[in-house]
């Protein structure tokens, strides 16, 4: 009797070992059978232990929250994670440049209101280029037949800022124990589906002048430094010397499906008050629209665009006015060579930034126009680029001319650039920039800048 009890204990022990180690599962089946045949195990005991052995042989189930839809995937760019039916993507960029800027000495003939060339002693800085860093987080899925997404974009700079008058993009504060600015430029949702197009609601880049900045070679580098003595989050690049800054704006925008290479967008935008004109209380939204064509014929790739903007300004003490403008351009790529040409024209839009110097003190509109031409050639890992651009601003009337003799007439710059693709993430860039600002009364200032650094994208 005691022997039978010991053997039964052995059977139970074997079962426990099998449960703890699936690699042993099934190896005790024959032994259990023999113990049963010898009468050591009863029929009920044999069946119970046999079932335990079979269960141990089966693959172990994972936790209840793991299923075959929870997987990590590799995206073309950024880091991708798919959880169930929701795709998460994280992408970003970091850059830094040593910039030396040498401007004209101050003097009566160097004053230009709205000029972007540096006036003052030479300066050195380690700073961001036209782009600050950025970290984008996006969540997207398909639900009830609709592709939907939530998008967030944070843009931190490497330089300390003052937070005086400009928030995260205020003037620089190069002192110890300071902090950099984080510009939360993007917060928007999207929904759309095939045949319908896409709706965007939130804060994102505008439509007017967006193609001009996105195709500018100084987007990845420095361009005109602006404020190099106390650097802020960004340089100017070619902003103000070839186009008006598109900006990141609250909007509701609809984009059509692509058809035969064409795609159009139109949106209503938060109305922007003038930066330099009389106070406003705007009643109507701004309107922006853009149409783009992408095509390829043989070895020639072409991108063409036309964008427009219109907004009525309700001046509290003065005449109302409507700011209007358009930009157009072409990007042509043949083999390793890409050429870009752009032009803009506006009335009541201003220069450099939207609604900067757009009117005189009474709300009378000033006209503006500008362009840039650029080329970039790839030579293996090296790329060589050059561009010229200018932005022009006219007086509103004769009274404006008398009241503002040093108002900027033209800002222009020449850019020469050399790039080296270190690897798939990092690009090394060196650049020379000559910037000139001219006033309507003949005043003139110029500056020369040399920038060298790197930018990383993941």
Q: Give the span between the Cα atoms of 118 and 438, in whole angstroms.
A: 12
Do both 341 and 399 map to the same domain?
yes
50 & 100 share domain: no
Those residues with Cβ within 8 angstroms of residue 220's Cβ, 6 or more apart along the chain or in another chain: 95, 129, 130, 131, 419, 427, 429, 455
Question: Is 81 within the bounds of a domain?
Answer: no
In a domain, 79, yes or no: no
For residue 179, is pLDDT > 60? yes
Q: Which of 1-10, 261-270, 445-454 has the lowest mean pLDDT?
A: 1-10
Please check whether residues 27 and 158 belong to one and the same domain: no
Give which of 382, 410, 427, 407 is closest to 220, Cα–Cα: 427
Please tell me the predicted confidence (pLDDT) of residue 453.
Answer: 98
pLDDT band at 6; cut points 50, 70, 90: very low
In this prediction, residue 156 carries a pLDDT of 96
- The H or E element that residue 268 is part of is strand 262-269
pLDDT of residue 438: 98
Report helix, strand or coil for 174.
Answer: coil
- More confidently predicted of 175 and 164: 175
Residue 74 lies in a domain: no
Does 32 share its domain with 146?
no
Q: Do 427 and 452 meet the contact criterion of CB atoms below 8 Å apart?
A: no
| 258 and 331, same domain (yes or no) | yes
Of all residues in the chain, the percent with pLDDT exceeding 70 is: 83
Total number of domains in the chain: 2
Is it the case that residue 315 has pLDDT exceeding 50?
yes
**Residue 45 in this model has a pLDDT that exceeds 80:** no
Residue 17: what pLDDT? 39
Tell how far CA 201 is from the center of its chain. Answer: 17
In Å, how far are 10, 251, 296, 323, 338 from 206, measured between CA atoms? 77, 8, 26, 16, 24
Structure confidence at residue 47 (pLDDT):
64
State the Cα–Cα distance between residues 399 and 276, nearest whole angstrom: 17
pLDDT value for 312: 97
Q: Considering the domain boundaries, does residue 242 fall inside one?
A: yes
As given in the structure block, the two tokens for residue 215 are 């195709």
Q: Stretch 255-265: mean pLDDT, rounded?
A: 97
| Alpha-carbon dihedral angle through residues 27, 29, 34, 36, given to the nearest 10 degrees | 150
* pLDDT of the residue at 21: 41
Query: In this model, does residue 135 exceed pLDDT 90?
Result: yes
Q: Check residue 152 and give its pLDDT.
A: 98
Q: Which residue has the higher pLDDT, 83 or 202?
A: 202
Please tell me which residue, 342 or 66, carries the higher pLDDT value.
Answer: 342
Tell me if 301 is assigned to some domain: yes
The reported pLDDT for the residue numbered 363 is 87
Question: In the prediction, which pLDDT does 385 show?
Answer: 98
pLDDT at 51 over 80: no
pLDDT of residue 64: 40
Of 49-53, 160-164, 179-183, 306-310, which range is least confident? 49-53
**Structural domain range at position 331:** 93-457
Q: What is the CATH number of the domain that holds 419?
A: 2.40.160.10
The mean pLDDT of 270-296, rounded to a whole number, is 96
Q: What is the pTM of this model?
A: 0.83
| Cβ-count burial 346-383 (b if 16+ within 10 Å, e if not) | bbbbbbbbbbbbbbbebbbbbbbbbbbebebebeeeeb
275: pLDDT strictly greater than 60: yes
Whether residues 334 and 266 fall in one domain: yes
> In this model, does residue 14 exceed pLDDT 60?
no
Least confident of 158-167, 200-209, 249-258, 412-421: 158-167
* Cβ(309)–Cβ(326) below 8 Å: yes
Tokens for 178? 């300071």
Together in a domain, 373 and 247: yes
Based on the fold, state whether residues 180 and 229 are members of the same structural domain: yes
211, 330 Cβ separation under 8 angstroms: no
Q: Tell whether 22 is covered by a domain.
A: yes
Give the residue with greater pLDDT, 417 vs 61. Answer: 417
The per-residue pLDDT for 80 is: 86
Q: Are residues 37 and 167 part of one domain?
A: no
Give Cβ neighbours of residue 34 (< 8 Å, ≥ 6 apart). none
How much is the pLDDT for 12? 44
Task: Indicate whether 32 and 102 sit together in one domain.
Answer: no
pLDDT average, residue stretch 259-278: 96
Q: Both tokens of residue 345?
A: 């024209």
The per-residue pLDDT for 362 is: 86
Q: What is the pLDDT of residues 376-416, one digit of tens each?
A: 999 999 999 999 999 999 999 999 999 999 999 999 999 99
Return the pLDDT at 62.
40
Helix (H) / strand (E) containing 5: helix 2-20
Report residue 141's pLDDT band, with 50, 70 and 90 as the boundaries. Answer: very high
CB atoms within 10 A of CB 257: 14
Q: What is the rounded average pLDDT of the residues 438-453?
A: 98
72 falls within a domain: no
**Structural domain ending residue among the three candidates 57, 82, 101:** 57
272 within domain boundaries: yes
CB atoms within 10 A of CB 427: 20
Same domain, 14 and 140: no
Mean pLDDT, residues 50-66 = 46
Please tell me whether residues 274 and 399 are part of one structural domain.
yes
């Amino acid at each position: 009797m005691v022997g039978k009890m010991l053997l039964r204990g052995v059977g139970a022990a074997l079962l426990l070992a099998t449960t703890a180690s699936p690699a042993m599962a099934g190896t005790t089946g024959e032994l259990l059978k023999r113990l049963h045949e010898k009468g050591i195990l009863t029929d009920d005991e044999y069946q119970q232990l046999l079932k335990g052995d079979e269960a141990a042989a089966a693959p172990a189930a994972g936790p209840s929250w793991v299923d075959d839809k929870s997987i990590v995937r590799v995206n073309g760019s950024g880091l991708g994670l798919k959880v169930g039916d929701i795709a998460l993507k994280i992408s970003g960029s970091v850059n830094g440049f040593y910039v030396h800027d040498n401007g004209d000495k101050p003097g009566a003939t160097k004053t230009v209101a709205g000029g972007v060339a540096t006036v003052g002693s030479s300066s050195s800085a380690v700073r961001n280029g036209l782009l600050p860093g950025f970290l984008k987080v996006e969540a997207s899925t398909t639900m009830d037949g609709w592709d939907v997404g939530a998008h967030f974009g944070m843009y931190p700079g490497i330089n300390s800022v003052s937070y005086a008058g400009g928030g995260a993009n205020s003037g620089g504060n190069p002192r110890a124990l300071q902090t950099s600015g984080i510009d939360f430029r993007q917060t928007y949702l999207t929904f759309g589906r095939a045949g319908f197009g896409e709706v965007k609601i939130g804060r994102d880049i505008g439509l007017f002048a967006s193609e001009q900045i996105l195709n500018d070679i100084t987007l990845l580098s420095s361009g005109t430094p602006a404020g190099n003595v106390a650097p802020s989050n960004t340089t100017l690049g070619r902003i103000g010397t070839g186009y008006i800054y598109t900006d990141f704006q609250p909007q509701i925008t609809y984009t059509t499906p692509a058809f035969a290479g064409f795609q159009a967008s139109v949106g209503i935008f938060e109305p922007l008050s003038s930066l330099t004109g009389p106070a406003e209380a705007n009643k109507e939204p701004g309107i922006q629209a853009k149409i783009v064509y992408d095509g390829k014929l043989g070895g020639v790739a072409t991108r063409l665009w036309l964008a427009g903007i219109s907004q009525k300004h309700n001046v509290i003490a003065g005449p109302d006015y409507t700011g209007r403008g358009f930009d157009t351009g072409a990007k042509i790529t043949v083999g390793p060579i890409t050429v870009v040409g752009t032009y803009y024209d506006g009335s009541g839009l201003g220069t450099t930034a939207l609604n900067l110097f757009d009117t005189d003190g009474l709300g009378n509109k000033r006209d503006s126009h500008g362009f840039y031409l650029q080329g970039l050639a790839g030579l293996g890992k090296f790329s060589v680029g050059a561009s010229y651009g200018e932005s022009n601003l006219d007086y509103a009337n004769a009274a404006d001319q008398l009241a503002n003799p040093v108002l900027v007439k033209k800002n222009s710059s020449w850019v020469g650039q050399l790039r080296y693709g270190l690897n798939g993430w990092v690009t090394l860039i060196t650049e020379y920039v000559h910037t000139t600002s001219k006033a309507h009364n003949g005043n003139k200032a110029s500056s020369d800048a040399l920038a060298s650094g790197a930018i990383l994208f993941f």
